Chain A
Amino acid sequence: MSEHFGLKHQIATTLLDEPDREIRVMGRVPADAGDADAVKHLELAATEVRRRAIQTVGSAKAGHLGGEFSITDALVTLYLEVMNISPEAVERRDPERDRLVLSKGHAANALYTALAVGGYIHPGALRTFLQPESMLNGHPARNKITAVEANTGPLGHGLPIAVGMAIAARVDGSTRRTFCLLGDGELQEGSNWEAFMTGGHHRLERLTALVDRNRLQQGAKVEDTNDLEPLHDKLTAFGWEVREVDGNDIAELRQALSPVGSGKPVAVIAHTDKGYPVSYMRDNVSWHHKVPTHEQVEQALSELDAILARLTEEEK
């Protein structure tokens, strides 16, 4: 039965059979939703993801919450609206499905949770995160989860793979799109620049690289470690159309991730805060892979619940 939930191996049936009360499976933004409703849907989904993700790390005692929270808005925007994809299309490996490569693979927990909220994997599986024999490794594995397109973890691997996917789409005469989410610190790996060159050279206009510009890497600021700036100019010089947005603003993300026709691949520099929006975590370098205490989980949940309450209030 696990195949039906996008999981390639059987996991403890008790975990799957038990009704999951901790997460709200929301599915895609309805096709006929207006802009305001779509944004609301995605904001609710992002808050659901963050609520569940911090609980997962709290109980698994490991994870990368800071960099997961900075890209949660992008993940839900892509999986729940922008990408031409559905759990059914993923399940039957529809060749025309859009692809997403999570190059910053250490944000796996956010990816799994976004997939669960989107209906791509069984929410019960989230409880197996990092457990022995689990399909939910600390870094995503395509061998184990149907909706995962690439095995990532070591940095600098995702964009080359996404370039290959985009070239394959062109060879196939397909309009399908390819997305790659990268960390900004990750751009210190030279293989990314090899791939930026190739993407620009081949004018892969249906390829979008989203750079999570949270300004922090594992131990320090990116700029204090190996300076990336001027990032916009560098990407432009490599032949990409560059868009800069607030990466924690879903309305802006929807715009930036919308299709283009400039004849160039698109690089979205998404300005985010690591740990967003949790007060004690936000823009704090210590939250790369720190595990929250029980009290910290509770505090984050209460802050996220306040956001949920506001969103729900607005809904009425």
Chain B
Amino acid sequence: MSAQLFDCRDAWADALAEVARGDERVMVVVNDSVGSSKLGPFVAEFPNRSVNVGIAEQSMVGVAAGLANAGKIPFVSAAGCFLSARAMEQIKVDAAYSEHNIKLIAQSPGVAYGDLGPTHHSIEDLTWMRTIPGLTVLAPSDPEETRQVIRWAADHEGPTYIRVSRMGVPAVYPEGYRFAPGKAVALREGDDATVIATGTTTARALEAADLLAAEGIRVRVLSMPSVKPLDEEAVLLAAQQTRGIVTVEEGLVTGLGGAVAECVVEQHPVPMRRLGFRDEFAITGSAEWLLDRIGASPEGIAAAVREILELPETH
């Protein structure tokens, strides 16, 4: 894990331009957020393949469906809060139910717009999106994974929702990492407990593992870029081989945490702790401060692991 922090939007914009150069079907549909989506260079290079519908998110997703009807591969880019909430029915009907080949790029989701307040937070999106049939839901953790996810999405036929954060994150994957949908990545091995993280919280889970290692506690850290499809096999192995599972995410605990809990409770119940927002709107503050506040700091994650290890063994 490098100390340098990256803005994954740079990786998104680079990867999109790269796939667009190789495939003339690739287009972008955007809601005035050209700058905040870092799409200025793309629009300059591909003016005819850029559609800016203005501040009109519902129509934006519908326009993408019309483009997909003609065989285009539209990447729809907008702030996660507006894309997910404002265009929810269009995502359900025009993208997912219609089986349209649309890529929905949720920019700066979670609490990335921390100080803009709850109206601009998108803590519900992983929960909402994972309940829509047929929609693939991805949250890459670092710039290299963001690049690979965008390339994969361009090749993959089907509706896909991807979180891309502006929050600074370090590179978390080893050299040669290859993203695969529906696959968790074991970034640390360990049999005491498992921490499952996605997106911007993965680096925090790794720091927690380091803190715990200093105490002799060996946690398995699973990065779960696919919230849907979930790597149920990896979750089950974690349930069988370790004492319990901590999930951590930048959003409501019903997103990744809900998905993992459903899998665990149906197939192999073990103690769990889910770190994320509960039944509240996040207050205002920086993204980092808000994540710390909900226990998604390295110290908070480590504490949740210790809680599980203090429980009587169940198997």
**A150 to B64 alpha-carbon distance, docked (Å):** 12
User: In the complex, are the beta carbons of B58 and A161 less than 8 A apart?
Assistant: no
If A153-B93, A161-B94, A197-B54 touch, does A191 touch B66 (CB 8 Å cutoff)? Answer: no
User: In the complex, are the beta carbons of B69 and A165 less than 8 A apart?
Assistant: yes
Q: Mark A151-191, 1 if CB is under 8 A from B, else 0.
A: 11110111111111111110110000010000000000011
User: In the complex, are the beta carbons of A142 and B98 less than 8 A apart?
Assistant: yes
Q: Which residues of A contact B64 (CB under 8 A)?
A: 164
For B56, give its contact among A99, A152, A161, A194 (CB under 8 Å): A194
For A149, give its contact among B58, B61, B69 (CB under 8 Å): B69
Q: Which residues of A contact B236 (CB under 8 A)?
A: none
B261, CB-defined interface residue at 8 Å: no
A198, CB-defined interface residue at 8 Å: yes
User: In the complex, are the beta carbons of A162 and B66 less than 8 A apart?
Assistant: yes
Q: Which residues of B contact A160 (CB under 8 A)?
A: 58-63, 65-66, 90, 94
Q: Which residues of A contact B53 (CB under 8 A)?
A: 194, 198
User: In the complex, are the beta carbons of B54 and A171 less than 8 A apart?
Assistant: no
User: In the complex, are the beta carbons of B97 and A151 less than 8 A apart?
Assistant: yes
If A151-B93, A160-B58 touch, does A198 touch B98 (CB 8 Å cutoff)? Answer: no
A95, CB-defined interface residue at 8 Å: yes
If A168-B67, A194-B53 touch, does A163 touch B62 (CB 8 Å cutoff)? Answer: yes
Which among A159, A162, A195 has the highest number of chain B CB atoms within 10 Å?
Answer: A195
For B62, give its contact among A95, A164, A168, A172 (CB under 8 Å): A164
Q: B residues 101-124 with Cβ under 8 Å of A?
A: none
B77: shortest Cβ distance to chain A, in Å? Answer: 15
User: In the complex, are the beta carbons of A156 and B93 less than 8 A apart?
Assistant: no
User: In the complex, are the beta carbons of B58 and A190 less than 8 A apart?
Assistant: yes
Q: Which residues of A contact B214 (CB under 8 A)?
A: none
User: In the complex, are the beta carbons of A191 and B63 less than 8 A apart?
Assistant: no
B2, CB-defined interface residue at 8 Å: no
User: In the complex, are the beta carbons of A167 and B67 less than 8 A apart?
Assistant: yes
Find the A residue at minimum CB distance from B57: A194
Find the B residue at minimum CB distance from A170: B48
If A164-B65, A195-B59, A198-B63 touch, does A169 touch B70 (CB 8 Å cutoff)? Answer: yes
Q: B residues 51-101 with Cβ under 8 Å of A?
A: 51, 53-54, 56, 58-72, 74, 89-90, 93-94, 97-99
For B48, give its contact among A158, A163, A171 (CB under 8 Å): A171
A215: shortest Cβ distance to chain B, in Å? Answer: 26
A interface bracket (residues with beta carbon within 8 Å of B):
20 to 34
User: In the complex, are the beta carbons of B69 and A99 less than 8 A apart?
Assistant: yes
B129: shortest Cβ distance to chain A, in Å? Answer: 18
A143, CB-defined interface residue at 8 Å: yes
User: In the complex, are the beta carbons of B70 and A95 less than 8 A apart?
Assistant: yes
User: In the complex, are the beta carbons of A157 and B72 less than 8 A apart?
Assistant: no
**A142 to B65 alpha-carbon distance, docked (Å):** 12
Find the A residue at minimum CB distance from B49: A171
Q: Which residues of B contact A151 (CB under 8 A)?
A: 93-94, 97-98
Q: Mark B129-167, 1 if CB is under 8 A from A, else 0.
A: 000000000000000000000000000000000000000
User: In the complex, are the beta carbons of A194 and B69 less than 8 A apart?
Assistant: no
User: In the complex, are the beta carbons of A194 and B59 less than 8 A apart?
Assistant: yes
User: In the complex, are the beta carbons of A161 and B51 less than 8 A apart?
Assistant: no
Find the B residue at minimum CB distance from A105: B93
Q: Which residues of A contact B11 (CB under 8 A)?
A: none
Find the B residue at minimum CB distance from A156: B58
* Known contacts A149-B69, A164-B66, A164-B74, then 8 further A-B pairs from the complex at CB < 8 Å, ordered by chain A residue: A150-B66, A154-B89, A159-B59, A164-B62, A164-B69, A165-B67, A166-B66, A198-B54
- The 17 listed contacts between A and B (C-beta, < 8 Å) are A150-B66, A150-B98, A152-B93, A159-B62, A160-B63, A161-B66, A161-B94, A163-B59, A163-B62, A164-B63, A164-B65, A168-B66, A171-B48, A194-B54, A195-B62, A198-B54, A198-B56
